[in-house]
Every structure is written in structure tokens, then in C-alpha cells.
């Protein structure tokens, strides 16, 4: 019998991280109840996305993701060259409080991708080094990152989270609780048909909106697009740009994390994140391929 079927199937193995605890904990969400149904476009229960970061740069609100004890991944569009006035909140539930499990960190270093182009949104990726490391808790944990050559098939269900506007120019109502929405992967071919040929490059990926027009919007830029496989959550993308909010003809466009593994590692040094190779297919997978993946996992988890 086939071992893996449909667009939700995947084979993966965990790669090493410099911090053993990062490797062990990345992508785990202990406060999420098993088999919990995620309802799109609604309040997220406290702690179910423990890597979610709120990045505040003066008056600019963006999302981000904790990837190790001292590094947050976000979009370059959210950053200036200076770390002055950049504050990161982790363990945050609402923007208007109270947040009993929250920790606050100033940023000691801002790294924008050197080839970021604000006009085309190419290489829309940035890293923030926190002033001091954070301790991992049930409410604060790193996400795993998609490793090189990861593949996310058209139609695969992913999730995007953030405190952005629910619709264009309409702020999230008080207390501004973290929102979650399930969105399907959209092929780059279809995405380019919407935005114009060549606008969406191979270093980008697209997802959503869902059937109700839910997707990411203003204030969500820099936030994570994640996919689940078993007990691990893997970040596939970083929210980069979109036309409108939830317009049915315009998917959200994300920076494709797997294309930047080397760049991320070069800057995080000994504080590297955990990486997961993710592969999904719309067709049935043979037992041979599934077994090969399991053997690879056994050999490479260390």
C-alpha cells in the first residue's frame, strides 16, 4: 500500500543546529491540542504559535519569527539600517495587553539582505539579533526553517499569522489579538498570471487567499507562512507583498525561506536555526521513496 498520499503528504528530515535545544524544540507547539482544527481568519489561542514575533520599528508594525535564542527572521521592508528604536515582543497574544507570558527585547543588530530591492520586493528578508538571548518556554519557541530544495506543492495547506488589518485600511479591532488563517499554496505560474510575468521569482512563493478572501494584509509583513508535518511546524515563507487584502485574484507573495539557508547561516554563526527538508507531492508516493526518506532521517538526525 502507498505510504504517503495527496497534497498533504510529505517526507522530511531534521538537520542539525548549533544549539541542541533549538534542534529539539524548533517547530513544536506544546500548547496546541492534538488534532485541533484551525479556523481561518480568527483569533489564535494564546501560545499556539510560540515563534510569532511582533516587530515594532518606530511606528511600523510587522511580524517576524523566532528562529533561535537570539535571532528573529522578518522582511527587509520592515527594517531600516539602524537598530535604534527596534523592539521585538515574543510570547505576545494581543497588541493592547495584558500579555502575561511576554518578553521584550531591544535589537542590537539589523541585517537587511544586501540585494533587497524595495521596488520589485526581491530578496525581501531581514534578520534581527536580540540584545540578549531568550529562554524557551511553552509560549516562546523557535520555528524550524525549510531547508534547501524543499518543495511545497500547489494546493498544500499552510498557515499565516499576524496582527495586521483584517481588510484594507481597517485596523484590527481591540484588543488586537493575534490572527490565524489557513491558505493554500498557489503556483508561481498562476501567481505571475495575476501580478505580471516575472514579478514573482523563484525566490518567492505564493499562497491564499482562502475561499472567504482571508489572507495577510498591512501589519502582517515579515510574518511566517508555516506548514505542519506531524509534530513539527516548518516556516516556508516570509510575508512580503500583496495587492489589497484578500482579493481573490491576488495571492499573497512570500520570500521563499529555503532559498536563503546559506545567507541565514552566514549571519547567525553559532546561533543557527534548525532546518527541515520538506517535500510534498500531489501524486501518490511509492513505499520505496517513503522508506528512503525515513532512512535518510535516521542517518541525518544528530
Q: Where are the domains of the chain?
A: 40-276
What would the pLDDT profile of 130-153 be if each residue is shown by its tens digit? 999 999 999 999 999 999 999 999
Q: Could you please report the per-residue DSSP string of the chain?
A: --SB-STT-EEEEEPP-SSHHHHHHTT--TTSPTTPPPPTTEEPPTTSSTTEEEEEETTEEEEEEE-SSSEEEE-GGG--S--TTEEEEES--BSSS--TT-EEEEEEEEEE-TT-BTTTTBT--EEEEESS-----SS--PPEEEPTT-B--TT-EEEEEES--SBTTBPPPTT-B-EEEEEEEE-HHHHHHHH-TTSS-TTEEEE---TTS----TT-TT-EEEEEETTEEEEEEEEEE-STTT-TT--EEEEEGGGGHHHHHHHHTTSPPPEEEEEE-SS-B-HHHHHHHHHHHHHH--
What is the CATH number that goes with domain 40-276? 2.40.10.10
pLDDT in tens, 44-67: 999 999 999 999 988 789 999 999
Q: What tens digit of pLDDT does each residue of 5-28 get? A: 344 445 455 666 668 889 899 999
Q: What is the pTM of this model?
A: 0.87
Give the per-residue pLDDT at 116. Answer: 98
281 pLDDT more than 80: no
Amino acid at each position: 500500500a502507498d505510504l504517503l498520499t495527496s497534497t498533504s503528504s510529505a517526507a522530511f528530515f531534521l538537520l542539525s543546529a548549533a544549539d541542541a535545544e533549538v534542534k529539539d524544540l524548533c517547530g513544536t507547539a506544546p500548547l496546541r491540542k492534538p488534532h485541533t482544527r484551525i479556523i481561518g481568519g480568527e483569533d489564535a489561542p494564546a501560545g499556539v504559535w510560540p515563534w510569532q514575533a511582533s516587530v515594532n520599528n518606530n511606528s511600523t508594525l510587522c511580524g517576524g519569527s523566532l528562529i533561535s535564542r537570539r535571532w528573529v527572521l522578518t522582511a527587509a521592508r520592515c527594517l531600516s539600517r539602524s537598530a535604534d528604536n527596534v523592539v521585538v515582543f515574543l510570547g505576545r497574544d494581543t497588541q493592547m495587553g495584558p500579555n502575561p507570558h511576554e518578553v521584550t527585547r531591544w535589537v542590537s543588530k539589523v541585517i537587511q539582505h544586501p540585494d533587497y530591492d524595495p521596488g520589485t520586493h526581491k530578496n525581501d528578508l531581514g534578520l534581527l539579533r536580540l540584545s540578549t538571548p531568550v529562554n524557551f518556554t511553552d509560549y516562546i519557541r523557535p520555528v524550524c526553517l525549510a531547508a534547501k530544495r524543499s518543495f511545497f506543492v500547489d494546493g498544500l495547506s499552510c498557515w499565516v499569522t499576524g496582527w495586521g488589518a483584517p481588510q484594507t485600511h481597517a485596523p484590527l479591532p481591540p484588543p488586537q489579538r493575534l490572527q490565524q488563517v489557513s491558505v493554500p499554496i498557489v503556483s508561481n505560474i498562476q501567481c505571475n498570471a495575476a501580478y505580471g510575468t516575472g514579478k514573482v521569482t523563484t525566490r518567492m512563493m505564493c499562497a491564499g487567499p482562502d475561499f472567504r478572501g482571508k489572507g495577510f494584509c498591512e501589519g502582517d509583513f515579515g510574518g511566517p507562512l508555516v506548514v505542519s508535518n506531524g509534530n513539527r511546524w516548518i516556516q516556508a515563507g516570509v510575508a512580503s507583498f500583496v495587492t489589497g487584502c484578500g482579493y481573490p485574484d491576488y495571492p499573497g507573495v512570500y520570500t521563499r525561506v529555503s532559498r536563503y539557508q546559506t545567507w541565514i547561516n552566514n549571519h547567525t554563526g553559532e546561533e543557527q536555526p534548525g532546518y527541515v527538508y520538506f517535500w510534498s507531492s500531489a501524486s501518490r508516493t511509492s513505499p520505496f521513496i517513503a522508506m528512503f526518506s525515513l532512512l535518510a532521517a535516521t542517518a541525518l538526525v544528530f
